[in-house]
Amino acid sequence: MAATALAGVALTALLASAQPATATGATDSPRVPSGVNAAFDEAAAAYDVPRDLLVAVGYGETRLNGHDGLPSQARGYGVMHLVDNPTHRTLDLAADETGLPVDELRESTPANILGAAAVLRAYADDLGVDIEGQDDDVDAWYDIVVEYGGASSDAAARLYADAVYDLLEKGVEAAVDGGETVVVTPRPVFPDRGSLDAADVGALSADYPPALWVPAHTANYAAGRSSAIDTVVIHVTQGSYAGSISWFQNPASQVSAHYVIRSSDGEVTQTVRDGDTAWHARSANANSIGIEHEGWVDEPEWFTDSMYRSSASLTAHLAAEHGIPLDRQHIVGHAEVPGNDHTDPGPNWDWNYYMELVGGDPGDPGEPGTPELDFPSYSTLRSGSSGAQVNALQYLLNQNGQDAGTVDGQFGPATEAAVRAFQTAKGLGSDGIVGRQTWTALLSAGAQTSLGQGSTGEAVSRLQRALTAALGRTISVDGQFGPLTGQAVTDYQSSRGLDADGLVGPQTWTALQAGR
C-alpha cells in the first residue's frame, strides 16, 4: 500500500509539471515522463486530449513501435509517426508546441507521445473545434484526427480517420518496450465525420473488383506501359496502410504502387491502374505490378494470415489476367529486383506459404528469385571462384537450359559442366572459363526486342548488362535507354563491324548473343 501511495504521489507530480505550450510559446517545455503508459496518461492530461484516442492514433500508425528512431517511408518518426516531409510537418509543429528538441521528439518515445498530443490539441484550436470539457469524448475529435493524418484527398482522409475509430471500437492491447502492456477498452463510437461523411471510400477498382479505388497523384506514376506485364513485385510499406495510400497521393513522394494491402483484415486498395506504370521498383517498373503490404520488414506480426490470403488472391488474379507465370522468377520481392537497394519483404515473409496460396511453384527455399545481376564489371570466373557473380552465373545458366545446380555462389563441377555446355551451344571455345564472350552471350540471352532512344524495361537492362561485359566498361543498368546507352550501342556496333545506327534490332542482338 505504501508503494502504491508513493507511485500516486509521483504521478500527480508529473502531471502537475506538464503544462501545454500556448500558441505564443510562452510556457516552459513540458516535462517528459518515463514509461509508455505514463507518457500516454500525462500527454493526454497535459493537452486535454482523450487518452484512448491518442493510443489509437499511435497504434494505427506503428503498433506503438518506435523503430529505434528510424523514419518510415513517409519520413514519420516514433510510435506516433511525427512526420517531416515537404507537405506535412507534424514533427516541427510538435517541437514548436512543446519546446522539445526535434531529436528528442524523434528518438524518445515519451517525448514523441507528448509531441503528438500537442499537435492534436493545436489542430483542435486551429479548427475552432469546441472540445472544452470533452477530453474523453472521442467522437468530437474526428476532424482533428483527419488533420493529423495529412491526407490530400477526402477518400484517403476518411480511410485514415476511420482506421483510428475502428481501433477505438475494437479495442487495443499492445505489448511495448519495457514489459508494459497498453490497453484501450472497446467502446461504441459515433464519430462526427462532417463533410467526409459523403467521401466515397467505397468506389471499387475496375481492374480488381474486391479492391477499393483511391488514386495516387498523377505526379507519382507514368500513364501507360512501355512493356508487357510479366512480374509481380512484393513490397512492405514501412508505414501504415492509410498513411501509405496518403503518401502516394503526395506529389512530393515521387513513388507509388498499384495496390496496398491492410494487415488486420487484408483489405485491398488500388492506387494505380494496372495499365499504368507505378514507380515502385526502378528497373522493373515498366514490366511489373507492385503490391505493398502494411508493416515493417523486421516485425513479422504485421504479416497476418488475412494479409497473406488477400495478397495471394490478388496475385493469382493478376497472373491469370496478364499471363504471369506462377513461379519465383516472376513473383519476386523488392530486394530481388536488379538495381534496387531495398530489403523488403525481408526474412520474415513466408515465401513458401505465399506461393502455396497463390497456387504456384515455391521453388527451392534456398533459391529465391533473381539474384543480383548488375555489376560495374564482370570478372573472369572459373572452377573455385565464389561470390555474387557466381550466383548470377549459375542463375543465368539455369535460365538458359543448362543445369548449374543450386544457386549457391560456388563454382564447382556442376557449374563448370553447365558453362561448357552453354559455350558449345553458342559456338564459343568450350574451356569452362567465363570471360567476356561467355558473359556477353549469357547476359544478352532472351527475346530480341527492338530498342532505341526512350525504350524502357527489362530488355533495356539486359542490353545494358551485356554491353558492360562486351565493351569492358560500366554501362549504368537502370532500364532506361538514354543518350549514354545509345552511345554504348553505337560504340559496340562500330567495333563489331555492324551498322552503327544506335538502334538495337536482330543484327545487334544476334551479335551480342553470340558473345561477339
Lowest mean pLDDT among 206-215, 326-335, 365-374, 458-467: 365-374
**Same domain assignment for residues 186 and 48:** yes
Q: What is the mean pLDDT of residues 189-193?
A: 90
Residues in the chain: 516
Is the CB of residue 142 less than 8 Å from the CB of residue 191? yes
% of the chain at pLDDT higher than 90:
62
| pLDDT given for residue 134 in this prediction | 53
pLDDT for the residue numbered 441: 95
* pLDDT score of 30: 58
Answer yes or no: is pLDDT of 303 > 60. yes
- 316 with 281, same domain: the answer is yes
- State the pLDDT at residue 399: 83
pTM: 0.63
Query: What pLDDT does residue 136 have?
Result: 66
Of the three residues 358, 385, 400, the one that is the final residue of a domain is 358
User: Which residues are CB-neighbours of 146 under 8 A, at least 6 positions away?
Assistant: 157, 158, 160, 161, 196
pLDDT score of 481 more than 60: yes
Q: Which of 358, 386, 420 is the C-terminal boundary of a domain?
A: 358
Residue 500 · residue 511 · CB < 8 Å: no
Q: What is the pLDDT of residues 314-349, one digit of tens each?
A: 999 999 999 998 988 899 999 888 777 788 998 889
pLDDT score at 41: 95
Report which listed range, 192-201, 202-211, 430-439, is most confident: 430-439
**89 vs 138: CA distance, rounded Å:** 24
How many separate domains does the chain show? 3
d(CA 218, CA 253): 11
pLDDT, one tens digit per residue, over 14-28 is 333 444 433 333 345
Asked if residue 11 belongs to a domain, the reply is no
Around Cβ 57, how many Cβ atoms within 10 Å? 31
Are β-strands 221-222 and 288-293 bridged in parallel, bridged antiparallel, or unpaired?
unpaired
Same domain, 188 and 208: no
- How do strand 288-293 and strand 231-236 relate by DSSP bridges? parallel
Cell of 194: 462532417
Which range, 1-15, 124-138, 451-465, 496-510, is most confident? 496-510
The verdict on residue 344 lying in a domain is yes
The enclosing H or E element of 18 equals none
Give pLDDT, residue 93: 97
pLDDT digits (tens, 9 = 90+) for 90-142: 999 999 999 999 999 999 999 999 999 999 999 999 998 776 655 568 998 99
Which CATH number covers residue 226?
3.40.80.10
Residue 434, domain member (yes or no) = no
Say what the pLDDT of residue 391 is.
Answer: 85
Q: Examine residue 95 and state whether it is found in any structural domain, yes or no.
A: yes
In a domain, 277, yes or no: yes
Q: Are residues 190 and 248 in the same domain?
A: no
Pair 354, 207 in one domain: yes
Rounded to whole angstroms, the Cα distance separating 330 from 259 reads 17
Q: Kindly tell me if the per-residue pLDDT of 70 is higher than 70.
A: yes
Tell whether 69 and 212 lie within a shared domain: no
Residue 415 located in a structural domain: no
Mean pLDDT of 472-489: 91
Give the CATH number of the domain where residue 473 resides.
1.10.101.10
Half-sphere exposure of 231 (CA within 13 A, CB side): 28
332 and 294 inside one domain: yes
In a domain, 297, yes or no: yes
Taking alpha carbons only, the member of 280, 301, 289 closest to residue 349 is: 301
- In this structure, are residues 448 and 418 in contact, taking their beta carbons and an 8 Å threshold? no
CATH number where 88 lies: 1.10.530
Q: Which residue has the cell 468530437?
A: 140
My answer on whether 231 and 347 are in the same domain is yes
What span, in angstroms and rounded, lies between the C-alpha atoms of 329 and 167? 38
Distance, CA of 28 to CA of 19 (rounded, Å):
8
Q: Does 328 map to a domain?
A: yes
At 339 the pLDDT is 74
- Picking from 51, 58, 301, the residue whose alpha carbon sits closest to that of residue 187 is 51
Reported as a single tens digit per residue, the pLDDT across 255-302 is 999 999 999 889 999 999 999 999 999 889 999 999 999 999 888 889
Note down the domain range covering 298. Answer: 202-358
- Confidence check: pLDDT of 421 > 70: yes
- Do 158 and 219 fall into the same domain? no
Same-domain check for residues 341 and 284? yes
Of 358, 389, 410, which closes a domain? 358
Beta bridge partners, 277, equal 222
Whether 130 and 191 map to the same domain: the answer is yes
User: Do 252 and 283 belong to one domain?
Assistant: yes
